[in-house]
């Protein structure tokens, strides 16, 4: 086996392309920075296209070295080289996709329109290569005779399955059709994201009368004044659709008209004018239906669910309805409580969607005497990050320290090194980028610029992982004070980061978050629970002025309110997941976005006071790319795993050493080295219990 690998390496060396005239392009050579962090200060927008083209050429020649190898296909000469097929593409894609979400300037966005089809071409070059798939199939067919260990065998099986899923087994005619559809979809995804970013940045509400700001926290008012000043509207207040601006208005503004304006602005995002995503979605749905037929499926949802734990759209919808129906029932009780306050105050109106957050907050104060503005004063961002780190350090034996001199792409980014607390061994680089800006899309996410695993013989690397958010900014002398939702979001994304950082899988394709889509949210969602665990709150929830720890009485109120409004939360989430699944089942005929949404709402019984968590024109999870398409349900699927797993921590103790070690070994470190259900059962001791989720939500 060693000889074959060396023969292949020699072949690749002979075939290695040379690049002239691009000596200053940082993507064209291995990084020499600490832990191979990209040298951001050297990277220019003009570097991306030449590097992608160079990577395409490198991939083409290395691919040829595999397919032209006369040796009998085996793990070393066919599967292993695919883990490191084009180092140049690895480097440039790692930065490109990050910038596409977090640093999409006008110059970058223009360049991306050329770059994404090229990257799509790179994927097609590999995924649809008949000779390569033939070799993979030979290894797959003989995998039990090759003396492979269990992880190597799983890698072979994963490559075979993924190539088949990408169309490698199709006829030449069908492949040509698939390439055309994929190219068109890639362009539509670019347009969808561009429209959404432009629509988000172009909408704002200006407040002229200070009286209309009644009820809003001082930090929100201050931020609105800063936003107005930045637009040349000194002395006024501007509210945008970015979450730190939008959500306080919906939750606290006494002015019902202001709430309605912000709500309707958000729910009509990218729904009109030059930035309308309606025609984009119609084309995406038609192309996805066509793609499913090319691949031999009845519809897109059937194709996508066949690849994950759910296996069928029916199984996913069954789980969704198990949650949706009791959630709707609970939400009706929640609305009744809100309506009672409206009536008592002489409001003389029926609760509308733009009233939900505002009156839910009033009910919450009445029932639990909990003021979220008071809670925010204990959630300064730096303290939240400290608590997040300290909980992980205590659970998993880590030490996390800032790397102040590490390369970064802007000043607001913080870079950390994660080490083993006992040995000092380097585990990962971790970056955070938490504040909104015009070049960043909405939401929060985790990704990595470098995965853990094999990068060539003798070169096994540790990951470079990052978290991105859109949290409340500091204002004046006040630090960034996070809402409870933002705190839980920070812990959520750090849960993803932990799975990426702690991975011990030997191969990149099996490492970190490279797991089934309906399993990947387990680590993130379970990590949210430590955010409000009393033992953890005592560690980090310090008042930003006095430094005092959050008092026990407030911690008790916070946790007592933990199941409050869960009808709304689950209805909103499950409703969006059902909408996504219905889009996947659409055959591409007579697609009218508003009418389709209304029909789904009627079919599932969506309460009129609650809309889908995301309406289609800004449902980036499912129309910004294929990542969560016909897969948004996975958040609830994983919540079953999360709820069941958390019950074990609650029973044993949130810092129980044995439970934490088991979770670290079987879930965080294992990646996709074994079947997800096997790993979960090894940690939990039984198959997932769907009723655990209903218990967690307070529905049982």
DSSP letters of 447-486? Answer: EEEE-SEE-STT-EE--EEEEE--PPPPBTTB--BPPHHH
Q: Which two tokens stand for residue 615?
A: 């309406």
Closest listed residue to residue 186, CA positions, set 133, 123, 237: 123
Closest listed residue to residue 138, CA positions, set 67, 59, 62: 67
Q: Does 11 score more than 70 pLDDT? A: no
Could you tell me the pTM of the whole model? 0.85
Q: What is the pLDDT of residues 343-384, one digit of tens each?
A: 999 999 999 999 999 999 999 999 999 888 899 999 999 999
Q: Which two tokens stand for residue 309?
A: 């734990």
Strands 426-433 and 464-468: parallel
Q: What is the DSSP letter of 380?
A: B
Rg, C-alpha atoms of the chain: 26
Where helices occur in 295-415 by DSSP H, the ranges are: 300-305, 313-344, 356-368, 372-376, 381-396
Give the up-direction half-sphere exposure of residue 72: CA atoms within 13 A in the CB hemisphere.
8
With beta carbons less than 8 A apart as the criterion, state whether 208 and 215 touch.
no
In sequence order, the 6+-apart residues with CB closer than 8 A to the CB of 154 are 510, 672, 673, 674
Give the whole-angstrom CA distance, residue 532 versus residue 559: 7
Lowest mean pLDDT among 44-48, 319-323, 497-501: 319-323
Give the whole-angstrom CA distance, residue 616 versus residue 277: 8
Catalytic residue among 58, 83, 334, 493: 493
Please give the mean pLDDT across all residues of the chain: 93
Q: What is the DSSP letter of 608?
A: T
What percentage of the chain's residues is helix, strand, coil (to nearest 5)? 60, 5, 30
Q: Does 480 score more than 80 pLDDT? A: yes
173 is catalytic: no
Average pLDDT over residues 405-413: 95
- Termini Cα distance of the chain: 57
Give the whole-angstrom CA distance, residue 183 versus residue 312: 27
Closest listed residue to residue 60, CA positions, set 142, 133, 123, 110: 123
How far does CA 262 lie from the centroid of its chain? 25
Give the whole-angstrom CA distance, residue 575 versus residue 42: 45
With beta carbons less than 8 A apart as the criterion, state whether 630 and 571 touch.
no
Determine the pLDDT at residue 22: 56
User: Residue 296, SS3?
Assistant: coil
With beta carbons less than 8 A apart as the criterion, state whether 520 and 638 touch.
yes
Q: What is the pLDDT of residues 164-178, one digit of tens each?
A: 988 988 999 999 999
Query: What confidence category does residue 400 fall into, taking pLDDT thresholds of 50, 70 and 90?
Result: very high
Kindly report the CA angle at 334 between 328 and 338, in degrees rounded to 5?
Answer: 140
Q: Does 226 score more than 60 pLDDT? A: yes
Q: What is the pLDDT of residues 295-347, one digit of tens each?
A: 999 999 999 998 877 789 998 899 889 889 999 999 999 999 999 999 999 99
Average pLDDT over residues 582-602: 94
Give the whole-angstrom CA distance, residue 72 versus residue 34: 40
Kindly report the backbone phi and psi dihedral angles of residue 517, in degrees, each rounded to the nearest multiple of 5, phi listed first. -60, -35
Give the up-direction half-sphere exposure of residue 256: CA atoms within 13 A in the CB hemisphere.
11
Determine the pLDDT at residue 96: 97
Closest listed residue to residue 622, CA positions, set 280, 307, 315: 280
Tell me the domain boundaries of the chain.
Answer: 2-127+129-169, 203-269
Q: Which two tokens stand for residue 501?
A: 């950082």
How far does CA 290 lie from the centroid of its chain? 27
With beta carbons less than 8 A apart as the criterion, state whether 354 and 259 touch.
yes
Q: What is the pLDDT of residues 633-676, one digit of tens each?
A: 988 888 989 999 999 999 999 999 999 999 999 999 999 999 99
Determine the pLDDT at residue 637: 85
User: Residue 400, SS3?
Assistant: strand
In sequence order, the 6+-apart residues with CB closer than 8 A to the CB of 173 are none
Lowest mean pLDDT among 214-218, 425-429, 583-587, 636-640: 636-640
For the chain, give the percent of residues with pLDDT over 70. Answer: 97
Query: What confidence category does residue 23 fall into, taking pLDDT thresholds of 50, 70 and 90?
Result: low
- Fold classification of 2-127+129-169 is 1.10.1370
Closest listed residue to residue 583, CA positions, set 366, 320, 281: 281
If phi > 0 it is left, if psi is from -120 to 50 it is alpha, else beta; for residue 471 that is beta
């Amino acid at each position: 086996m060693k000889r074959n690998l060396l023969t292949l390496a020699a072949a690749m060396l002979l075939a290695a392309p040379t690049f002239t005239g691009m000596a200053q392009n940082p993507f064209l050579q291995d990084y020499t920075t600490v832990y191979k962090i990209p040298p951001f200060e050297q990277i220019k927008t003009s570097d991306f296209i030449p590097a992608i083209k160079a990577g395409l050429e490198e991939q083409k020649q290395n691919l040829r070295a595999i397919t032209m190898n006369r040796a009998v296909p085996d793990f070393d000469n066919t599967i292993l080289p695919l883990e490191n097929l084009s180092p140049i593409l690895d480097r440039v894609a790692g930065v490109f996709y990050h910038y596409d979400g977090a640093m999409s300037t006008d110059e970058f966005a223009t360049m991306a329109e050329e770059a994404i089809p090229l990257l799509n071409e790179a994927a097609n070059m590999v995924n649809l290569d008949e000779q390569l798939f033939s070799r993979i199939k030979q290894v797959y067919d003989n995998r039990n005779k090759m003396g492979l260990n269990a992880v190597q065998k799983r890698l072979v099986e994963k490559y075979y399955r993924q190539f088949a899923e990408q169309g490698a087994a199709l006829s030449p005619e069908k492949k040509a059709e698939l390439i055309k559809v994929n190219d068109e979809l890639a362009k539509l995804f670019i347009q969808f994201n561009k429209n959404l970013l432009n629509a988000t940045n172009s909408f704002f509400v200006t407040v002229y009368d200070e009286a209309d700001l009644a009820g809003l926290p001082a930090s929100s008012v201050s931020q609105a004044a800063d936003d107005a000043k930045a637009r040349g509207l000194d002395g006024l207040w501007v509210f945008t659709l970015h979450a730190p601006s939008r959500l306080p208005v919906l939750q606290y503004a006494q002015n019902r008209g202001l709430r309605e304006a912000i709500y309707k602005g958000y729910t009509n995002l990218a729904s009109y004018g030059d930035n309308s995503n309606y025609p984009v979605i119609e084309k995406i749905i038609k192309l996805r239906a066509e793609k499913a037929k090319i691949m031999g499926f009845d519809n897109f949802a059937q194709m996508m669910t066949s690849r994950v734990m759910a296996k069928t759209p029916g199984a996913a919808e069954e789980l969704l309805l198990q949650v949706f129906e009791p959630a709707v029932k609970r939400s009706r009780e929640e609305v009744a409580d809100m309506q009672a306050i409206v009536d008592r105050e002489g409001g003389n109106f029926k609760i509308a969607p733009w009233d939900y957050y505002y009156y839910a907050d009033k009910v919450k104060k009445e029932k639990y005497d909990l003021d979220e503005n008071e809670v925010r004063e204990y959630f300064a961002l730096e303290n939240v990050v400290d608590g997040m780190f300290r909980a992980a350090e205590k659970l998993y034996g880590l030490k996390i320290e800032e790397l102040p001199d590490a390369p970064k792409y802007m000043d607001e980014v913080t870079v950390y090194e994660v080490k083993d607390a006992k040995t000092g061994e380097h585990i990962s680089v971790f970056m955070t980028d938490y504040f909104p800006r015009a070049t960043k899309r909405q939401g929060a996410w985790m990704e990595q610029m470098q995965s853990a695993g094999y990068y060539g013989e003798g070169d096994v690397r540790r990951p470079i992982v990052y978290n991105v958010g859109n949290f409340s900014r500091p204002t004046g002398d006040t630090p960034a004070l996070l809402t409870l939702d933002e705190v839980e979001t920070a812990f959520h994304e750090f849960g993803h980061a932990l799975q990426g950082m702690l991975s011990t899988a030997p191969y990149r394709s099996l490492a970190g978050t490279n797991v089934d889509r309906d399993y990947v949210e387990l680590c993130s969602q379970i990590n949210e629970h430590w955010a409000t665990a009393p033992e953890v709150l005592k560690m980090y929830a310090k008042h930003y002025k006095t430094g005092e720890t959050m008092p026990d009485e407030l911690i008790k109120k916070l946790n007592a309110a933990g199941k409050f409004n869960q009808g709304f939360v689950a209805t909103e989430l499950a409703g969006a997941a059902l909408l996504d699944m219905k889009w996947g089942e659409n055959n591409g005929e007579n697609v009218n976005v508003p009418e389709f949404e209304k029909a789904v709402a009627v079919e599932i019984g969506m309460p009129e006071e609650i809309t889908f968590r995301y309406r289609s024109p800004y449902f980036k999870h499912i129309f910004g790319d294929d990542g969560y398409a016909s897969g948004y349900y996975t958040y609830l699927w994983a919540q079953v795993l999360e709820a069941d797993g958390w019950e074990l921590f609650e029973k044993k103790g949130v810092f129980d050493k044995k439970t934490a070690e088991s979770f670290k070994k079987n879930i965080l470190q294992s990646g996709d080295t074994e079947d997800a259900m096997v790993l979960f059962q090894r940690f939990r001791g039984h198959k997932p219990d769907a009723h655990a989720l209903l218990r967690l939500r307070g529905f049982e």
